[in-house]
Amino acid sequence: DFDGTLVDSFDLINRCLCETVGHFKNIIIPLEKAKEYFKFGPTEEGILQKSLTSNHKEAYSYFLNLYNSYHNEYFPKTLDQELINIFSLIHENGCKVILLTGRGKETLSISLAKLDAFKYFDGFYTGSTLGEVKCELLNELMEEYGFSNDEIAYVGDSYRDTLSCKKAKVDCITVTYFNKECMKKPDDIKQSFTIANSISELKNIISKVVKKR
């Protein structure tokens, strides 16, 4: 996953969504109200299509310009070195690192370019304007690479990620160092996936996973 897993990106995305919809509707949407206005699942373009009755393409271009211009205010110039070390660990053990996210390919490309991070990944899967498709993307990944369900593990940050993995019958590692929301879910759900509360914990978990494969 990307958002909430590799970077703490929700404030940036919400700011750009608030300013874009505010601009095209001629209203002011406070950043603290973003969760009431915008529901993640679709890509950013899909969120704008649901929020605006017209000017979708123009609004998305406006959004992308904001995202690009504000990016350096929210992110460092590179990914966290501990995450980079995890990518090296995975590759050294003969496994692949695939970036599979619900966000759009345009903003993902902007972020990966600015973070100089394209080089860490062996493949990319991005979301849909229509809604949540991670289960479908996981199945597409397995078909394209010839992996079985027990040969991959997904690292995400949300309750929705765990449900997608359950549906695809894929192991899920849930990280909480950026997003604590998943920890508010019922205990029976929390017990069904592995939790990493820090990047160091994530590294230890992944080390055990890749050495088993």
According to DSSP, the β-strands at 98-100 and 153-156 are unpaired
What share of the chain in percent tops pLDDT 70?
A: 94
The pLDDT value given to residue 89:
96
The pLDDT value given to residue 148:
96
Task: With a cut of 70, say whether residue 115 has pLDDT above it.
Answer: yes
The pLDDT value given to residue 141:
98
Q: What are residue 17's phi and psi, to 5 degrees?
A: -65, -45
Q: What is the pTM assigned to this prediction? A: 0.92
Mean pLDDT over 30-37 rounds to: 87
Distances (CA, A) of 111 to 39, 82, 187, 194, 200: 21, 18, 34, 27, 23
The pLDDT value given to residue 153:
95
Task: With a cut of 80, say whether residue 212 has pLDDT above it.
Answer: no
* Averaged pLDDT score across all residues of the chain: 92
Task: Please state, in angstroms and rounded to a whole number, the distance separating the CA atoms of residues 14 and 134.
Answer: 21
Q: Tell me the three state secondary structure of residue 75.
A: coil
The pLDDT value given to residue 36:
85
Mean pLDDT over 202-212 rounds to: 90
Per-residue pLDDT band for 53 (boundaries 50, 70, 90) equals confident
* Full DSSP string of the chain: --BTTTB--HHHHHHHHHHHHHHHHT----GGGHHHH--SSS-HHHHHHHH-SS-HHHHHHHHHHHHHHHHHHHS-SS--HHHHHHHHHHHHTT---EEE-SS-HHHHHHHHHHTT-GGG-SEEE--BTTB--HHHHHHHHHHHHT--GGG-EEEESSHHHHHHHHHHT-EEEEE-SS--GGGGS-HHHHTTSEEESSHHHHHHHHHHHHHH-
Task: With a cut of 60, say whether residue 191 has pLDDT above it.
Answer: no
